[in-house]
Structure 1
């Protein structure tokens, strides 16, 4: 049962909220969500499996709801509250707006912090090494020799660190730091950790100290996955002591899949292995030959197995097998016998090489602690060996997954090779799981003190089944499910218009029809957003309509021509100054775009957002479903399209007083059997279906 103290704190928050916000109106759906979060965490629905999956429509105020329901419970039970998001925009909203507001209305003290991965911070010792005047920077680790401007940037950053004007966070440096520069100074788990006395005051170590003391931690899905893949509790608090709020939860399965995937080039890997081979003697000398000699021998033996093997593999690949995108996918994840054997050998060689280099790295670390070697040389050696250790770990992961036999039950791995965009006659070997739900369950849901998953779009075709299958959530194990409709008055404030068009989007002349039809639905509107299915189609329509836009004094803003931030600022300025403003965008504009009130009154969706299964992972998933007698179109494409169509339509109404129309230029919602399900899953707009 929910403790009376928690109930009292939540009630007090609500009373204070009315005093803090002008015109605050309590929302029934938000109150209900707060109560359900608190009751779920208290174990009222299931004593051990404390999990809630909630789809909360736009306007409910879900972020304030989970703060109200989660923080009082977590504090009373001495648990950490971790909020994981998919986008920087939501993190900024939480840090700059929602949590400061909650701090003012909550009757108790609490602290919060934004957590970032180790690689977002610089290592000051690596930075010092790059600024040392009596030796070149670690040139072996550079793909190409550092520029003079790179060295000047290092010195400015070091000065800023020493004068405490910069905290070592990449995101807080005033200008963009090039990747080639950042790679030389970013913190890594091998050479920059609290076990090394000189690294205890490094930027990442300081950030970790603050995080350990914080009551509420904001992270992103990628950092969450990085932590649980390491076993949990390595970067973030341990799952057993943490209540997880997964906001924008519909993104989590894809992030989990990306984290379980691996890729490495063939000739590219051989190239850096050669550099490592040249550095081994120097590293072993610093580690002390008497102790490191056998590790050096094992490391070099395995490097000398890997280099010719990887190069020969690149030679063995027949370029004529690649498709027009430069990809060859192994059907059903099954490798040819020769590649299977090579994969096993590469797996063992990369594993032994990594273990041996790890031993040399540890010996150097010990000698550095005991002041047996010059600190500058020791630090540089640890940075260099740490750099190669990470690469060897990735190489081992790739070949372990490539060599892994397909299981009798469950989906196989997707395996493919791809032409390298950077190196001539080189290929990238890539592996990805098709289904990651079991990993999320094993590493997170089954261990967490409590899990609250929220998003404005979790259901597909009005059901949670598709999301649950992706995220490893059972629908009958005590998990609580909620679908809370938006409080907006869709019937009176918005229309869904489906014009009577002679062609469907898959027709050859459909783009020409768009060029002819769009002006009719843009005419007389002041703020429009047109969502296209591809850049190619958007650019063709743009070229055709630009003269008309100029003639009519329409301000046409096209995604890709300027940054998203600049385009949206121009659009807002246009609307404010009474100019007709039209945004053209693709799929990425269908989510996370917040244009309330007069900033958007006319939304045009050119087609149902069916994804074309062209990526090797999507092709492999469709192949797997077909092999089991399923229909990938109905089981994957339609649910995904439903979710994306809801997200696209969700751009129109952002506040209760907003109004406007959605125009869907795709008759398949009327003409096809699956269309009714797609239409019924949309918000309850007033429908206007036109007929010839």
Structure 2
């Protein structure tokens, strides 16, 4: 029976309301009035609300209904994606979408008439959501029949992981010449066309799996494989061979979650049987990516309220069917948390390090622990650069520490290490440490507990530990507390840390603020500090020293508890104490790094580090203040902590040499991978892309779009997108310009039937934006750095890449120091060439792709053109000529016009 509610759809092309009898176009005011007075059916309420200018828009969102009925099932959150999963014809224009939503509701609710795969738990969840006044709850509850027997729901459905005996150390084995190439044939298929570059690559990668000859001297292979070589299967061949022969695990590390997902799919060739693949291949991420079952239980039992509570119940539905509990890039739809804006999704993960490990009632079902144990038995572990570095730096999982690594997206090792080994003594960091030690100070709901509560049983057993906890709690009172930012801004800081932050703020404004800075962040190098900052740093150091001492003592007392093994210390309790030791050690190391940074204030500079003061601001509002320290060369600690203990590592990428000349490019690759800090030189391998770039692509440098002229820039984007018929990835170096262009052209393109999506504008996560873009050949996407790398979109959806200007590095204090050490302007050129190579790499991904790369900058230096592949035609043209050439090139593309175009 049809629902008695209207359906609402709004796009840049117009607004429509549909009832059972009619569909009509309406104005914005009428649409808002109807939505405010009547429950409306819609698709993606935050996006529709943004288009209406009505941020508080709510209703019966079909995406929420889909998340309830089909948890852990992928769907592109568009009318086209909904039509696909509902088995309905796709609406052909915007005016048809509103009535289509009414049909989609009935199609989805028809699932409740039978036993669909995710039936179990739905009735129980619907009752809870009914009490929370979820708009869909009355409709769903009416359709669902109460099960004849009590259904298993969430915690009762989740399997328990099991402990296994420690895995023996990998055997010393050798992969014989030709073995990797033979394995590669098995992976690609015996009937597949042989690719000489891929075969040579597999052979070269084998060197990373040879036995190590000298301690702290791994076999390091740097391998650049141009797009289309097939490097994934190229390194999986020797990696899988070594894992089988040696009985060890190879950790494949990526920089982006998109590549992690892609690698998981590629391993199906290695292990076609799903059960075997589940045992042999495990994806690992940082614990902050996984759902915490204890946090979820707290949310379900009243820890959340309002819309956040509804999100918790939908997440619970997903958790019962999730493959791995990964909330960020796993099988939880990326669009689901965005439907609830900022209401609670991050509170469902362990982002504060408060895990009680074996003290948790859900420990044996924990997604994080299950992934860790599964990886200890796996042959291939798909991780990321950050997790690899964290595990190595903090001594995690020493018993299963890998001896062989593959660093895919290896050109990002420098950036990942820069983030991992940095120090930030900021208000946000100190208040987080205070909360970890003291727990909640202002009441409220939630399971958060302070250090004393988490270790109460240990404290009662060990007097020294109890005293150390009390001292740490007392010392934590000196850290920044709630309301610190307002007090500092008003010149009334409380305590030594807030006083330090006030001094940092004052000196930063005095030295860094410039007229017309528009409220963006400020920073100044930590040089020649004034007396106020020196005195504040001394007092803050004394307070932090008082804090770090009991933390170190507590860690030692807990180690003593393990050694003495009291009667109550069974296996789970031991695991909990070990977890506490690791967490305390991490905090103690952080405070020690802060002390080292403070010692720099008024003292001599350390040539290995770059130190500066910063006031972080966004939209003119301050949100953090602090001191920062980065390694001048972050690959030094990376080489020391990650590479040297390993026996072999392959660092690979399609743009490893960053588009430089041959020798210069390899020097860059070595410098940014840590190779110079090893005793043995790295071996090099390079395979050029097999694509015919002279035929498949061209680079156009537009010379008549004035820099800084937003209307002219917007006009250029609009004309180029229309000429290409969509399929455009627009890359910006500044969010402000991205928003300015989007605001000027979205309606114009909608009238052409060309949807436009934008990062930092649409209330949709970046991964979902890419999914939407990939799914529609007529759509275009605007974005910043996150879309320049790691995005794999086929040629029928990505035919044109447009950059709004030369991607020069931001002139920060850190960049200035590295520029000085790295050769001045030549250092800048290397960074720009690498960024251009990465951006161009989005364009041609398949042998039958065709497209154009446009740079909207007359100031594009000729010396940077080596960033593009040899043979690709490069021309400096006017905008009119660029539009004509793109229209001619892409109108002849066999793919243009094929497939369905989604309405705007």
Q: 1:537 to 1:5 in 2, by over 3 A?
A: closer
> Match of 2:833?
642
Query: In the aligned structure 2, how far is the partner of 1:544 from the partner of 1:440?
Result: 45
Q: Judge conservation of contact 1:252–1:471 (CA < 8 Å) in 2.
A: yes
Q: Which stretch shifts more, 42-51 or 10-19?
A: 42-51
> Match of 2:690?
487
Give ranges in structure 2 of 5+ residues lacking alignment.
1-171, 442-449, 481-494, 514-518, 882-904
> Match of 1:469?
671
> Match of 2:5?
none
Query: In the aligned structure 2, how far is the partner of 1:347 from the partner of 1:407?
Result: 21
- Shift in Å at residue 229 of structure 1? 0.8
Q: Residue 650 of structure 2 aligns to a residue in which SS?
A: strand
Q: 1:265 to 1:388 in 2, by over 3 A?
A: farther
Q: Residue 227 of structure 2 aligns to a residue in which SS?
A: coil
Query: In the aligned structure 2, how far is the partner of 1:167 from the partner of 1:484?
Result: 36
Q: Residue 542 of structure 1 aligns to a residue in which SS?
A: helix
> Match of 1:610?
808
Q: Judge conservation of contact 1:91–1:218 (CA < 8 Å) in 2.
A: yes
Query: In the aligned structure 1, how far is the partner of 2:470 from the partner of 2:349?
Result: 29
> Match of 2:388?
224
> Match of 2:525?
330
> Match of 2:400?
237
Q: 1:300 to 1:262 in 2, by over 3 A?
A: same
Alignment of structure 1 residues 506-655 onto 2, 5 Å: 508-509=708-709, 511-518=710-717, 521-526=720-725, 527-546=727-746, 548-559=748-759, 560-561=761-762, 563=764, 564=766, 567-568=769-770, 570-572=772-774, 574-575=776-777, 580-613=778-811, 618-623=812-817, 625-626=819-820, 631-635=823-827, 637-655=828-846
- Shift in Å at residue 117 of structure 1? 3.0
Query: In the aligned structure 2, how far is the partner of 1:339 from the partner of 1:477?
Result: 46
Residues 571-622 of structure 1, C-alpha deviation per residue, up to 9 Å, x if partnerless? 45553xxxx5443333332223323233233333332211222xxxx42341
Q: Judge conservation of contact 2:836–2:867 (CA < 8 Å) in 1.
A: no
Q: Which stretch shifts more, 551-560 or 64-73?
A: 551-560
> Match of 2:89?
none
Q: Residue 599 of structure 1 aligns to a residue in which SS?
A: coil
Q: Judge conservation of contact 1:415–1:430 (CA < 8 Å) in 2.
A: yes
Which of the numbers 855, 858, 880 marks the counterpart of 1:664?
855
- Shift in Å at residue 43 of structure 1? 6.2
In the alignment, does 2:649 pair up with 1:451? yes
Q: Judge conservation of contact 1:491–1:685 (CA < 8 Å) in 2.
A: yes
Query: In the aligned structure 1, how far is the partner of 2:520 from the partner of 2:438?
Result: 31
Query: In the aligned structure 2, how far is the partner of 1:238 from the partner of 1:404?
Result: 35
Residues 295-319 of structure 1, C-alpha deviation per residue, up to 9 Å, x if partnerless? 3553355345657222333454554
Which of the numbers 857, 861, 865 marks the counterpart of 1:678?
865
Q: Which stretch shifts more, 419-428 or 467-476?
A: 419-428
> Match of 2:500?
313
Residues 130-182 of structure 1, C-alpha deviation per residue, up to 9 Å, x if partnerless? 4898xxx9xxxxxxx75377678879989998x89886655566764978576
> Match of 1:140?
none
- Shift in Å at residue 570 of structure 1? 4.9
Q: Residue 538 of structure 2 aligns to a residue in which SS?
A: helix
Q: 1:533 to 1:179 in 2, by over 3 A?
A: same
- Shift in Å at residue 493 of structure 1? 2.1
> Match of 1:81?
250
Query: In the aligned structure 1, how far is the partner of 2:731 from the partner of 2:295?
Result: 46
In the alignment, does 2:180 pair up with 1:10? yes
Residues 423-442 of structure 1, C-alpha deviation per residue, up to 9 Å, x if partnerless? 98973443333321111111
Query: In the aligned structure 1, how far is the partner of 2:343 from the partner of 2:351?
Result: 14
- Shift in Å at residue 522 of structure 1? 4.3
> Match of 1:69?
238
> Match of 1:291?
463
- Shift in Å at residue 212 of structure 1? 1.4
Q: Judge conservation of contact 1:268–1:426 (CA < 8 Å) in 2.
A: no
> Match of 1:142?
none
Query: In the aligned structure 2, how far is the partner of 1:274 from the partner of 1:16?
Result: 54
Give ranges in structure 1 of 5+ residues lacking alignment.
138-144
Residues 270-321 of structure 1, C-alpha deviation per residue, up to 9 Å, x if partnerless? 9648946986877787523881554355335534565722233345455443
RMSD of equivalent CA atoms:
4.8
Q: Judge conservation of contact 1:243–1:451 (CA < 8 Å) in 2.
A: yes
> Match of 1:438?
636
- Shift in Å at residue 365 of structure 1? 9.0
> Match of 1:147?
305
Q: Residue 263 of structure 1 aligns to a residue in which SS?
A: strand
TM-score, reference length from structure 2: 0.61
Q: Residue 729 of structure 2 aligns to a residue in which SS?
A: strand
- Shift in Å at residue 72 of structure 1? 0.9
Q: 1:273 to 1:541 in 2, by over 3 A?
A: closer
Q: Judge conservation of contact 2:523–2:613 (CA < 8 Å) in 1.
A: yes
Residues 307-364 of structure 1, C-alpha deviation per residue, up to 9 Å, x if partnerless? 7222333454554436343534333597853244235324412211323554687799
Which of the numbers 350, 361, 366 marks the counterpart of 1:186?
350
Q: Residue 260 of structure 2 aligns to a residue in which SS?
A: helix
Query: In the aligned structure 2, how far is the partner of 1:123 from the partner of 1:180?
Result: 13
- Shift in Å at residue 245 of structure 1? 0.4
Query: In the aligned structure 2, how far is the partner of 1:547 from the partner of 1:184?
Result: 38
Q: 1:619 to 1:658 in 2, by over 3 A?
A: same
Q: 1:11 to 1:495 in 2, by over 3 A?
A: closer
Q: 1:45 to 1:646 in 2, by over 3 A?
A: farther
Q: Judge conservation of contact 1:231–1:443 (CA < 8 Å) in 2.
A: no
> Match of 1:418?
615
> Match of 2:196?
28
Q: 1:681 to 1:430 in 2, by over 3 A?
A: same
- Shift in Å at residue 684 of structure 1? 2.5
Residues 14-71 of structure 1, C-alpha deviation per residue, up to 9 Å, x if partnerless? 4434647xx7211111011001111443369999541111111110000000001222
Q: 1:541 to 1:50 in 2, by over 3 A?
A: same
Query: In the aligned structure 2, how far is the partner of 1:535 from the partner of 1:553?
Result: 25
Alignment of structure 1 residues 57-136 onto 2, 5 Å: 57-95=226-264, 97-104=265-272, 111-121=280-290, 130=298
In the alignment, does 2:561 pair up with 1:344? no
Query: In the aligned structure 1, how far is the partner of 2:776 from the partner of 2:560?
Result: 63
Q: Residue 474 of structure 1 aligns to a residue in which SS?
A: helix
Residues 372-400 of structure 1, C-alpha deviation per residue, up to 9 Å, x if partnerless? 99x99x99999999988866664444334
Q: Which has the higher contact order (CA 8 A, sep 6+)?
A: 1
Q: Judge conservation of contact 1:6–1:72 (CA < 8 Å) in 2.
A: no
> Match of 1:256?
417
> Match of 1:141?
none
Q: Judge conservation of contact 2:207–2:221 (CA < 8 Å) in 1.
A: no
